[in-house]
Amino acid sequence: MSVVVRVWIVLAAVVLALPAAASARVVQCGEVITVDTRVDNDLACPTPVALEIGANGVDLELRGHVIEAVEYVDENGSTNDGGVGLLVPGNDDVSVANGTVIGPGSLGTGLRATDAEGLTLRRLSTIG
């Protein structure tokens, strides 16, 4: 077997062994993200939490999109502007990049991360 053929076989094995990049997909209001995700849409969610990270080690690539919690009506019929754009509740080694997260009104929070060790934010704008 020639050296060139051996090199091609090794390169093919390396490429096949690499993890596949997350493909872009549409996310939904209130969704809990548990795997690496590349977002393919903006969100404006009339829910308490627009988007939530639900596992350790998740990479969320917003790809320039906006995740926004807007005013919502709670179970008592009251209008509430205390929502959260992106919630990271105690999940470690999470990264969020390349977008904007917005919380509604004067009480809302764009990004809420509690007990999240190793959280990495890159090129991320937060409002609220």
The residue segments making up the domain with residue 30 are: 21-127
Answer whether residue 12 is part of any domain: no
By DSSP bridging, strand 49-53 and strand 31-33 are: parallel
Q: What Rg, from alpha-carbon coordinates, does the chain have?
A: 19
Answer whether residue 1 is part of any domain: no
User: How big, in percent rounded to 5, are the helix, strand and coil portions of the chain?
Assistant: 10, 45, 45
The neighbouring-strand residues paired with 125 are 100
Q: From CA 59, how far away is CA 80, in angstroms rounded?
A: 30
46's enclosing H/E stretch is none
Answer whether residue 56 is part of any domain: yes
pLDDT of residue 3 exceeding 80: no
Answer whether residue 8 is part of any domain: no
What was the pLDDT predicted at 108?
80
Q: From CA 29, how far away is CA 59, in angstroms rounded?
A: 18
Answer whether residue 13 is part of any domain: no
What global pTM score does this model have?
0.80
pLDDT one-digit tens code per residue, 4-62: 445 445 444 444 444 455 678 999 999 999 999 999 999 999 999 999 999 999 999 99
Answer whether residue 103 is part of any domain: yes
Q: How many CA atoms lie within 13 Å of 17's alpha carbon, on the beta-carbon side?
A: 6
Answer whether residue 121 is part of any domain: yes
What was the pLDDT predicted at 122?
97
Please, are residues 66 and 51 in contact by the beta-carbon 8 Å criterion? no
Report which of residues 72 and 32 the model is more confident about.
Answer: 32
| Domains in the chain, number | 1
pLDDT one-digit tens code per residue, 102-125: 998 767 899 999 999 999 999 999
